[in-house]
Amino acid sequence: QQQVKQSPQSLIVQKGGISIINCAYENTAFDYFPWYQQFPGKGPALLIAIRPDVSEKKEGRFTISFNKSAKQFSLHIMDSQPGDSATYFCAASSWSWGKFQFGAGTQVVVTP
Amino acid sequence: DSGVTQTPKHLITATGQRVTLRCSPRSGDLSVYWYQQSLDQGLQFLIQYYNGEERAKGNILERFSAQQFPDLHSELNLSSLELGDSALYFCASSVSQSASGELFFGEGSRLTVL
């Protein structure tokens, strides 16, 4: 049972464009929603995270939008750069649950 | 560099064999998580330890076991290996036992079962 569903599986965007990745969750007990970025041959690294008391969080070119009622959250990468080419994972967790549930990942390719 | 060290980086073995993967968490982190990453399955949570005690369990097979030692390093033991166990195994650490903060991942151990 996949508790966090992520889409699309892959996307190609031109340099300067906007990349949008969506995630949906089922467990209403989740209270922490991070996004991780993974480059080939490396482990995932935290990119940005949000808690359900806010609807949006922005860090540089990366923005999380959060819709609690729809149980959805998304990552927007503005002005995409070739260096952003990586696999992005959304995740969800609960402080009382003790484990992070990851989405299946989205491979983003930014073309020059 | 996340500060999490995993060894070995690559491991090739045969079906039916047993292997041990080792993880040293970041200095000061008490929680260790193990994840399996397959091509078509994303990051699958296996197990979490906090300060030597099992904290949470995911879809870990009975052929797999783990432990966290007093010095906080952790080992994941995989036995009676099957072809389908071929995957990248990640260890991650965090400072707290609750899953509400940043996980720091190692670079993984790539296991190939032939």
Interface of B with A in 61-80 (CB under 8 A): none
Question: pLDDT (tens digit, 9 = 90+) per residue, A11-53?
Answer: 999 999 999 999 999 988 888 999 999 999 899 999 999 988 8
User: What's the pLDDT at A2?
Assistant: 64
pLDDT value at position A89?
96
Residue B74 and residue B6 in contact, taking contact as beta carbons nearer than 8 Å: no
Average pLDDT along chain B? 93
Is pLDDT above 70 for A1?
A: no
pLDDT-derived band at B96 (thresholds 50, 70, 90) equals confident
Q: How does pLDDT run across B61-75, given as a tens digit for each residue?
A: 999 999 999 999 999
Closest-CA residue of chain B to A35: B102
For CA atoms A107, B89, B51, B28, the dihedral sign is negative
Which B residues 95-114 touch A at CB under 8 Å? 97-103, 105-108
pLDDT in tens, A56-100: 999 999 999 999 999 999 999 999 999 999 999 999 988 766 678
